[in-house]
């Protein structure tokens, strides 16, 4: 078995398993805590818990005007990085092919230039985020090992992906191997560290959105 075979075979299987089980474990660990029913009467402008939760999941993706002057850089970088990742994942032809092989589902890919641009933007923003974590006083205080590891584990797949797509002089199979392995490393770390925000930001929004939505407060 070559390293590529390993990456495509058992490594993919195990990393997926670890990611899914880890996330389920972590979600269950919080969801199974005793839930205390809220007996307070709803506010006169209540939107109800469910609408509050769903509404906040969407609305918290949009910055509030009052904060924007002070959070502009974070918001722009956040959008650029996440949109970039989304374009690469859903628009890149090799990724679509992978999904098609696994599930039979397929959709048209984006032009190679668009994906290349998105990759470049993502890479640059990831580097910027890394630097900012080391320089901004608040981020320096907050950041821990997990933050840096999570950024690096996102950065490496993007970087190897770019090298792959640009057909450099580097040997294709080696690059592909490392690209897949780096994605798998990210998947393995995902449930344990802050990459789990792919699930928990929405959970957090739902929870506070439900509470404040019932009150009829801004969420």
Partner 1 sequence: MSGMPPSLAPAAKPGAKPATRRVAESRDQADRARLDAAMRGFISDFGPEAAVYMEACLHCGQCAEACQFYVETGDPKYTPIWKIEPFKQAYSREMGPFAPFFRAFGLTPKVTLGELEGWQELLYDSCNMCGRCSLVCPAGIDIADLVEKARHGMFEAGLVPGDYLGALAGKEQETGNPFGISREDVRRALLEIGRSHGVEMHVDEPRAAVVPTVSSIDLKMYPASIAATARVLNHVGASWSFRTDGFDADNVSLTAGDRTGQRLVTEAIVDAATRCGAEVLIMPECGHSYTEMRWEAANTVGHALPFRVLHMSEYLAECLDAGRLKLRPVTPDPEGRGVTFHDPCQLSRRSGRSDAPRKVMAALGLDLHELADHGADSWCCGGGGGVALINRARPLRDKAFAIKRRQVADTGAGTVIVSCTGCRQTFEHGFKDAGGETGVGSLLDLVAGQLEEDGKTP
Question: What is the binding site for partner 1 (CB under 8 A)?
Answer: 25-26, 28-41, 43-45, 56, 60-61, 64, 66-67, 70-71, 74, 78, 136-147, 192, 194, 196-197, 200-201, 203-209, 211-212, 215-219
Judged by CB, which is closer to partner 1: 45, or 101? 45
Closest CB 49 distance from partner 1, rounded Å: 11
Judged by CB, which is closer to partner 1: 139, or 175? 139
The sign of the CA dihedral 57, 62, 68, 70 is: positive
Judged by CB, which is closer to partner 1: 43, or 94? 43
Alpha-helical runs (H) found in the chain: 3-8, 10-31, 49-59, 65-91, 93-103, 112-135, 137-142, 145-165, 172-189, 197-215
- Angle at which helix 145-165 crosses helix 112-135, to 10 degrees, equals 150
CB-CB contact of 175 with 3 (8 Å): no
Closest CB 143 distance from partner 1, rounded Å: 6
Closest CB 127 distance from partner 1, rounded Å: 17
Closest CB 60 distance from partner 1, rounded Å: 6
Q: What span, in angstroms and rounded, lies between the C-alpha atoms of 120 and 87?
A: 12
Closest CB 171 distance from partner 1, rounded Å: 35
Residues 6+ apart with CB under 8 A from 199: 23, 27
Judged by CB, which is closer to partner 1: 68, or 170? 68
Q: What span, in angstroms and rounded, lies between the C-alpha atoms of 161 and 85?
A: 11
Judged by CB, which is closer to partner 1: 65, or 104? 65
């Amino acid at each position: 078995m070559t390293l590529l075979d390993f990456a495509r075979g058992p490594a993919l299987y195990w990393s997926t398993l670890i990611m899914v089980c880890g996330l389920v474990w972590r979600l269950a660990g919080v969801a199974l805590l005793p839930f205390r029913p809220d007996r307070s009467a709803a506010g006169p402008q209540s939107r109800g818990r469910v609408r509050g939760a769903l509404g906040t999941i969407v609305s918290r993706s949009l910055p509030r005007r009052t904060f924007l002057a002070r959070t502009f850089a974070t918001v722009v970088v956040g959008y650029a990085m996440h949109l970039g990742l989304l374009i690469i994942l859903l628009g890149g032809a090799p990724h679509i092919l992978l999904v098609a092989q696994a599930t039979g589902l397929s959709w048209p890919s984006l032009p190679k230039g668009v994906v290349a641009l998105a990759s470049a933007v993502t890479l640059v923003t990831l580097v910027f985020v890394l630097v900012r974590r080391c320089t901004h006083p608040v981020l320096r205080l907050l950041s821990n090992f997990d933050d840096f590891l999570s950024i690096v584990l996102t950065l490496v797949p993007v970087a190897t992906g770019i090298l792959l797509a640009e057909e450099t002089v580097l040997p294709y199979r080696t690059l592909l191997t490392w690209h897949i392995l780096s994605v798998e490393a990210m998947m393995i770390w995902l449930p344990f560290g802050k990459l789990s925000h792919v699930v928990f930001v929405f959970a957090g929004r739902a929870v506070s959105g439900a509470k404040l939505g019932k009150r009829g407060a801004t969420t």
